[in-house]
Amino acid sequence: MVGSSEVKEKARSIGFSAVGIISLESLSKLPVGDVEGVHTLVPAVDELPSVRSAIILGYHIWDPVFNVHTLDPRWRGIGLHSSDERFEFHQLYSEVVGRKTWQLAAWLRELGFDAVPAGGLPLKRAAPLAGLGVQGKNTVVISEEYGPTLRLGAVLTSAELEPDAPLTRDLCGDCTRCIKACPTKALNPHEVAIKRCMVYALESPESNDVDEDIREMADKLIIRPTAGSFIECTRCLDACPFGKKAKG
């Protein structure tokens, strides 16, 4: 047997800053399907038929370098975001979170439980159910302590763990700093026009569904450490008043 407190202690020892648990019942209510051609959400039971709980994990990124992306130079002409795309794309924070979720899953498996990192959960919807934060007007999960600087992961497990209470308090109130900070006007309260987002534009360098003015703005504003990499835009995150004390 393993308890929720033991799981949380282990997750924190691996390096996660925030940990919450949701039940199978809550998992079954999460949305599934295609998300604007960018990602496909799948039911938790499709990823792990024996699933009884999901451990939702938040990793605090304390330095902008965590937001670096790099694209395989072979992307040209293959059509990014298509179902048959074959190329390498890396985000540093995704690599770090992914490695750490595997560590937690491996530990649970050593204890005799089924466990796998979740690849198809809507993490921004799952995190509030686990008490990690609320989904802000910029659509990103905002923690009272860490603001929008948590990067999310999840582990599905057959262990039946005590779920956490959802966090339902409104942290945004009348604040619209994130919306005003977006240079491409991609944000409305709790909505993002993904194809007006500079990050999407840079992840889709030859896609014809990105307007030219977005590409021009990205060329001017985005930092490129090398010709094949970029640091994603975080202007809407930087504008958030939560989490400032957690930086550094």
HEC per residue, the chain = CCCHHHHHHHHHHHCCCEEEEEEHHHHHCCCCEEECCCEEECCHHHHCCCCCEEEEEEEECCCHHHHEEEECHHHCCCCCCCCCCCCCEEEHHHHHHHHHHHHHHHHHHHCCCCEEECCCCCHHHHHHHCCCCEECCCCCEEECCCECCEEEEEEEECCCCCCCCCCCCCCCCCCCHHHHHCCCCCEECCEECHHHCHHHHHHCCCCCCCCHHHHHHHHHHCECCCCCEEECCCHHHHCCCCCHHHCC
Using one digit for the tens of pLDDT, what is the confidence trace for 40-59? 889 999 999 999 999 999 99
What is the reported pTM?
0.91
Q: What is the reported pLDDT for 246?
A: 63
Confidence check: pLDDT of 227 > 90: no
Q: What is the reported pLDDT for 204?
A: 78
Confidence check: pLDDT of 203 > 90: no
Q: What is the reported pLDDT for 243?
A: 86
- How many folded domains does the chain comprise? 1
Range of the domain at 172: 4-246
Q: What is the reported pLDDT for 158?
A: 98
- Model confidence at 77, pLDDT cuts 50, 70, 90, reads low
